[in-house]
Structure 1
């Protein structure tokens, strides 16, 4: 990997993070895009701003949930498209320091997560529907896009950019060392230098030299931007951020070399808290998607949408704890692991870390498991469920001398045995 991605080494070690969408939209429980989807004017949205009073919020509970889940970093939406700030900003049009709440939620989040050794990041929207100089009528997303009263409204774009840059400077200057900034979102011609991206990145790098920046100063969740090109633009970012999908082959640059990337995924079907959406992904699904992502060289950023008081549901907490239990046993196959350079087997995925190869078995084999694609001459040790095992030998597999087979059970290797862990059983192979 080129030196251009040197600062992302911790990112590719940690592999699993928590995304948190939370703000006034959590009061209504209709999702973070509520104001746009319902085309709410400011006065109709104001009750949710006034009603965002999470006095019982405890950042320690979030950090505890992330730690138990095995998450190594976390990203908080300190400002979403509605413009409401969860941090102390003297430029904010609305925020926690001006709506009567009076607590800096970003500061509380940072203190709790840092105390547990979890790296910290901030999500920052490039869009701000609350600002009078952000174009409204005719825009793709603005709540007033169809409002005739805004058709001839004048907007000073340079003044908006000064406001945007000033708020980013506040976050980069006032909260100590940050590990990651997650911008969102570019669309249509609102991309790259439209945001004065070169100047913005230079300012961020001056204040936070080691911080990671995603690729959304010029791209959205379904595109890469110039990061994969031989000469990426200065604002191309440090990693790609596909949304709600896992790329079929991972992400490579035009020369075929891997690029750091992170799939961001909702826990249910919404980012912000959505009343009645209980379609939570199971721990098995999350574990298996984490495995798939890492096998393709990526990270998984799993979102939670706390309610208006900052509570994570008990169902989510139990699922997260189950994921963490699996990772406590099998974390070596995830943290610091990546592509194995072996074609995907039918029964699951391989990951690799140094001299260790990890076979993640998701489908019950009939008889012994075939470690297809593994050079049998390099195998020094095989471990299943913390127990060293011998390669299976049976007249049934004599026709495949170049494939190593292993069995779950101690009796006849031709027998079919239950998987030690139905969520995902890991077979560790040490190679010489």
Structure 2
């Protein structure tokens, strides 16, 4: 089916569950746990080959008092409509109430951070999701020596270790049942992740998806019960498994084009990206992305039919780093004026223009102009006779379709001017991304 200008291409009905998620387009990822104490990222145990005992000082020192309402206010002000928190990362230390282990903030601190988090974000009207690691490096029955990721993968003292995957599956399924049973309706469940030797068979994916769909039938699921960042799994094939997920999840990259299945049909996707180079809090990582860059990348995701899940790594006190708050505030300022070109939008069905991107939604086109033209701006891909009117999205002011002697050799093409003299060059009203709302005839 050919795409109609101004209206996103329809998706296969199997993706109907994700309709609200594709409407919202922009969410917050939060990686937070005891790994914020060493402040070297959430993979610190694996990278530094730390044993459970080596890591225990981080557990002992993790005693935060987060202001979850401030977290939610920051997300809302940035224009984010959904959020995903790490209920448990690979280190195995749970932020939720679990009867299956004492390795949790409830047992240690008497705090169910997941419950507190969910209450604050729901109060702001933000849809809520939980990340749950399929790995657990604290469990003695999980593979150790020879596993590709485990901190003790090459430790001589564990070379005779024998995992008990049946025991581990029972434990892991039990914890998934807890988070699906005790916290009300969850909008998203974000599992992480499969790799060589540890995939759907080891996770018991068939039973796991049965539990999830029984208890949380409306939850949107990622694809990592059988995939990872670079490996989408069967979601792109002609024969997806029941646990293939509702979207695919490229990590730290935006695909060159929109993601499609083997038959060429669009598939929902979400790029999960960090604000610096780490997911969990890393005190020494000062490589912060800028708000303008991330605005451009959000637009790119939407123009290609995808979502952006932008990560924050709170510190050991439970505070968002000041740099994170500043960047998110910059994004939010732009979203306040231009969110209609993001939410409910997708690909426009037009070639990528030289000056930026097109998005489309609600029967309108949105020109994201990121580079100033010399003279009038050509609305590449459109003819003059297709256009009813053009306005700045930010303030509703008219941007006239013009004739100019400099473009007289293109009489059928559509050009607009940002000032009263169409031949002149004007600065963009918004140097980051000036959004034009184009209504077609």
Query: Normalising by structure 2, what TM-score?
Result: 0.96
The residue correspondences of 1:4-403 to structure 2 (distance < 5 A) are 4-54=14-64, 56-99=65-108, 101-384=109-392, 385=394, 386-403=396-413
RMSD: 0.9
- Aligned partner of 2:5 in structure 1 is none
Cα deviation digits, residues 249-302 of structure 1 (max 9, x gap): 011111111111100000001000001212211110111000000000000000
TM-aligned CA deviation for residue 194 of structure 1 = 2.1
How far, CA to CA, are the matches of 1:75 and 1:311 in structure 2? 16
8 A contact 1:84–1:93 mirrored in 2: no
How far, CA to CA, are the matches of 1:219 and 1:79 in structure 2? 19
How far, CA to CA, are the matches of 1:141 and 1:129 in structure 2? 9
How far, CA to CA, are the matches of 1:348 and 1:50 in structure 2? 50
TM-aligned CA deviation for residue 189 of structure 1 = 2.4
Structure 2: tracts of 5 or more residues without a match: 1-10
Structure 1 outlier segments of 4+, above 6 Å:
none
Instruction: State the secondary structure of the residue aligned to 2:233.
Output: coil
Q: Which moved more, 1:89-98 or 1:12-21?
A: 89-98
Match of 1:422 among 423, 431, 436: 431
Query: Normalising by structure 1, what TM-score?
Result: 0.98
How far, CA to CA, are the matches of 2:178 and 2:278 in structure 1? 29
TM-aligned CA deviation for residue 376 of structure 1 = 2.9
Instruction: State the secondary structure of the residue aligned to 1:205.
Output: helix
TM-aligned CA deviation for residue 417 of structure 1 = 0.4
How far, CA to CA, are the matches of 2:383 and 2:212 in structure 1? 46
TM-aligned CA deviation for residue 193 of structure 1 = 2.4
How far, CA to CA, are the matches of 1:400 and 1:253 in structure 2? 38
Q: How many residues align?
A: 429
TM-aligned CA deviation for residue 139 of structure 1 = 0.8
Instruction: State the secondary structure of the residue aligned to 2:107.
Output: coil
How far, CA to CA, are the matches of 2:149 and 2:326 in structure 1? 36
Structure 1: tracts of 5 or more residues without a match: none
TM-aligned CA deviation for residue 57 of structure 1 = 1.1
TM-aligned CA deviation for residue 93 of structure 1 = 4.5
Cα deviation digits, residues 203-230 of structure 1 (max 9, x gap): 1000011111100000110121110111
TM-aligned CA deviation for residue 45 of structure 1 = 0.3
